[in-house]
Structure 1
Amino acid sequence: MTQTALLPADKLRTAASADEPVQFRQVPHNIEAEQALLGAILVNNEALDRVSGFLEPIHFYDPLHAQIYEIAAKLIQSGKQATPVTLKTFFENAEPIDAHLTVPQYLGRLAASATTIINAHDYGRTVYDLAVRRQLIVIGEDLVNTAFDSPIDQSPETQIQETETRLYDLAEHGKYGQGFMAFGSALTHAIDMANSAYQREGHLSGLATGLTDLDSKMGGLQPSDLVILAGRPSMGKTALATNIAYNIAKAYRHEPQEDGTNKVLDGAIVGFFSLEMSAEQLATRILSEQSEIPSEKIRRGMISEPEFRKLVEVSQEMSRIPLYIDQTGGITIAQLAARARKLKRQRGLGLLIVDYLQLLSGSSRRGSDNRV
């Protein structure tokens, strides 16, 4: 396993001394972009439609601008007009911006300085991107401060996982989203899916589990599906999940693309979180099923020489299958998500199996408060 290189202690920069001038940097923001966007909205309320899908009041750097945007959005969404006149009543008792400028007067200036709504979306993206950068700074500061404080109840590994989760959440919320999709584009995706199903053995649009009756009912496992295997104790839930994982990983085939990525032709790379059984037990179970040798005989070593040779042959074939097992017990949801994202980055990931959900715990320090 590759270890992250640590800096020597003398390379770490300590706090500035009393004689050293403190460097001050302003957080990223653009007041002019905020003013231009608000002015465009006050002049033509249709400008809100260009940014309301991703921009929220919290993204504004100036608190007054955030308040103006929030009130204007509520008025417009309720079917009313948002103009300096209609917003004036909400700010009549507001503290003046300076000795010569009240908030109602400022609203008039914002509208007067607006020229067009054509650039409203660009202004909104600028405001949004800067808000994301400010949030990155907050995450970085929290990371540094926690590392310096060295809290007893938060190990470095936990801090890394929590920071990774925050960065991932920020990345997900940092996407603008595609909004409406043209019906023609949706049809193209539908035809591509049908073509993939036609070319695949079994004619399935999703991942084939290898269980014919199940595949015929479900059409395979589809992307973003959450499938729960429920049943009473000792009814074979783990055995079924193991079979599905092995069958999908065994069927994995890909085709290298010009951009360096791999196009998946069949099957998938599988991640298996085994929170109850060890990886060795899970592998023994799969090996027993594929070699048709009872697992009791394998565990006790009560096998003949031909059976042992068969075990070796089957294990060599199985070792090339992209099935990855994590046997960590008592794992939290945040840890599971972080490890799944790491596997996705390093190897790829098409199917994730958790055995079983009740053994997951939340990230709360109060222990089982957030058990699944």
Structure 2
Amino acid sequence: MLNDPSLIVNAMSILKTREAFFSAAHQYISGALFEMAKNEEAVDVLTLANALKKSSELVQAGGEVYLLELMNSVPSTANFDKYLDIVQDASVLRRLIRRSSETLELCLQDDASAGAVLDQLHKEVIDISDNLFKEESVALKDELDAAMGTIFRLAEGDKGEKGFSTGYRDLDDKIGGLKRSEMIVLAARPSIGKTTLAMNIAANVALANTRGQSDKNIAVGVFSLEMNTQSLVLRMVASEAEISLKDIGNMNVTTNDFANIQKAANILADTEIHIDDSAQLDVMELRAKSRRMKEKFDVDLIVIDYLQLLRGRGLNRNASREQEVAQISGAIKGIAKELNIPVIILAQMNRQAEQGGGSKEAARPKLSQLRESGSIEQDADIVMILHRDRGQQIEEDQAKIEAEGIMTELIVAKNRNGETGIVELNFMPQYTKFIDNDPVASFGGDYNNDQF
């Protein structure tokens, strides 16, 4: 908990009290940590030592030296859940020993009644088991009322029950929007436009309120392991202003272009998009940062660019890359479920995705070509694969491309709760922007969320 204070809340929910620890020193330390977490105080060795000193418990806790030793005694927090299980199991066993001793004393009393002793023992065991085992199952009949309520609210057009619109009408029709607790994989080979599409969707979600498509501002968190924040922001401004990124870089812009750029910047300034461009994140750091984003900014969507740049933690040094990616994929699904928000994770396809050859159908990439792990497709609720002829952008007339865009297929290869199929989008490379194949359907037009 000292190495990763974001895990204190998890420990509190499982262990309940400091008495779960056997050592008196650990009881004092955990008690102080729990109290600091409740008060939302910053936690590190110095602040913990100060809190223990204020309560006159620092000496009983082992002093500052022992706190430092504790921090260095755990090599990784990757197995934190397992450590919690060990502490909880030991705590339950100690309680059972105490209750067994008390039961033995009751049995040896002259006026002992077998019925009374059994009744008392039964209550104690139930109390202990309630603390050990979480309520994991629910009766179907108890959930039917809630399910029917959801259906009625959807029929009445309650926007809160729908997934967040991606800003692309055909895509929304296909997947039903970005739903809470879902892990959505957006995959492609390099330079096809997965980062562009992901940031377009992020901007569309964050701008929904500005465009009259949502009743409130929707906060979006972005983890960019590949591009820095400045590069992403420039792309978003160029996309919103529909000014060539190349022209902006070369300062080949007119007065009218400057006005559009300023207008786009003002629009984006009103959004709640929070970007973290930390490189070399591991799964535990990602999870902790995601929790903090949720707590601090109440983000309702997280975008991660991209999966293969993340690192696992706590694995055996002989573990394969496939095992590491499986751990990462499972952790991302866990983030979506824990925070109850959709998470879009970008991923690369392997080289086979470009070696289909033959017919148009044969050339399309397949779900099995996700790079490095089959676990990604197993964990994901939705897998979308961006596909187009890479040579088209080079070979075709550039003036035609700038006027009409490049037709790109977004293949919905997996949809756990809906249909699969192909959505056609137009890629406008000069603006780093995707639009609906039917321009009238794009978010910037007359599209209304009530239609979705």
- Indicate the TM-score class for this superposition, using the shorter chain for normalisation: 0.5 to 0.7
Larger of the two Rg values belongs to structure:
1
Q: SS at the partner of 1:229?
A: strand
CA deviation vs aligned residue, 1:265-317 (integer Å, no higher than 9, x gap)? 46732111111011111111111111110111112222112211211111011
**Match status 1:115 vs 2:119:** yes
Q: Which has the higher strand share?
A: 2
CA deviation vs aligned residue, 1:70-107 (integer Å, no higher than 9, x gap)? xxxxxxxxxxxxxxxxxxxxxxxxxxx9xxx8xxx9xx
Select which of 266, 271, 275 maps to 1:316: 266
Cα 1:13/1:195, change in 2 over 3 Å: closer
What residue number does 1:195 align with?
Answer: 153
Residue 349 of structure 1, CA deviation: 1.6
Quote the Cα distance in structure 2 between the aligned partners of 1:125 and 1:207.
Answer: 40
Residue 363 of structure 1, CA deviation: 2.7
**Match status 1:233 vs 2:237:** no
Cα 1:209/1:190, change in 2 over 3 Å: farther
The share of aligned pairs that are identical, in percent, is: 26
CA deviation vs aligned residue, 1:161-189 (integer Å, no higher than 9, x gap)? xxxxxxxxxxxxxx944741553543334
What residue number does 2:138 align with?
Answer: 180
- Gaps (5+ residues) in structure 2? 1-40, 54-58, 63-87, 329-452
Select which of 254, 262, 279 maps to 1:304: 254
- Gaps (5+ residues) in structure 1? 15-21, 26-55, 69-96, 129-174, 254-263
Cα 1:365/1:179, change in 2 over 3 Å: closer
What residue number does 2:92 align with?
Answer: 60
For the Cα contact (< 8 Å) 2:217–2:271, is it kept in 1?
Answer: no
For the Cα contact (< 8 Å) 1:208–1:221, is it kept in 2?
Answer: yes
Quote the Cα distance in structure 2 between the aligned partners of 1:312 and 1:367.
Answer: 51
For the Cα contact (< 8 Å) 2:223–2:276, is it kept in 1?
Answer: yes
Quote the Cα distance in structure 1 between the aligned partners of 2:120 and 2:96.
Answer: 22
What residue number does 1:353 align with?
Answer: 303
- 1:87-236 matched pairs, under 5 angstroms: 113-115=117-119, 119=123, 123-124=127-128, 128=132, 176-177=134-135, 179-181=137-139, 183=141, 185-192=143-150, 194-196=152-154, 198-199=156-157, 205-236=162-193
**Match status 1:291 vs 2:238:** no
Cα 1:23/1:265, change in 2 over 3 Å: same
Residue 198 of structure 1, CA deviation: 4.0
For this pair of structures, how many residues does the alignment match?
A: 244
Quote the Cα distance in structure 2 between the aligned partners of 1:179 and 1:227.
Answer: 26
Cα 1:368/1:266, change in 2 over 3 Å: farther
What residue number does 1:269 align with?
Answer: 219
Cα 1:110/1:365, change in 2 over 3 Å: farther
Q: SS at the partner of 1:277?
A: coil
Quote the Cα distance in structure 1 between the aligned partners of 2:155 and 2:197.
Answer: 24
Q: SS at the partner of 1:180?
A: coil
Whose relative contact order is higher, 1 or 2, with alpha carbons under 8 Å and at least 6 apart? 2
Quote the Cα distance in structure 1 between the aligned partners of 2:249 and 2:318.
Answer: 35
Cα 1:250/1:109, change in 2 over 3 Å: farther
For the Cα contact (< 8 Å) 1:207–1:266, is it kept in 2?
Answer: no
**Match status 1:282 vs 2:232:** yes
Quote the Cα distance in structure 2 between the aligned partners of 1:339 and 1:316.
Answer: 27
For the Cα contact (< 8 Å) 2:280–2:309, is it kept in 1?
Answer: yes
What residue number does 2:280 align with?
Answer: 330
Cα 1:117/1:5, change in 2 over 3 Å: closer
For the Cα contact (< 8 Å) 1:362–1:368, is it kept in 2?
Answer: no
What residue number does 1:136 align with?
Answer: none
Cα 1:267/1:188, change in 2 over 3 Å: farther
Cα 1:57/1:297, change in 2 over 3 Å: same
User: Which amino acid is the alignment partner of residue 229 of structure 2?
Assistant: A
* TM-score normalised by L of structure 1: 0.53
**Match status 1:244 vs 2:206:** no
Cα 1:235/1:123, change in 2 over 3 Å: same
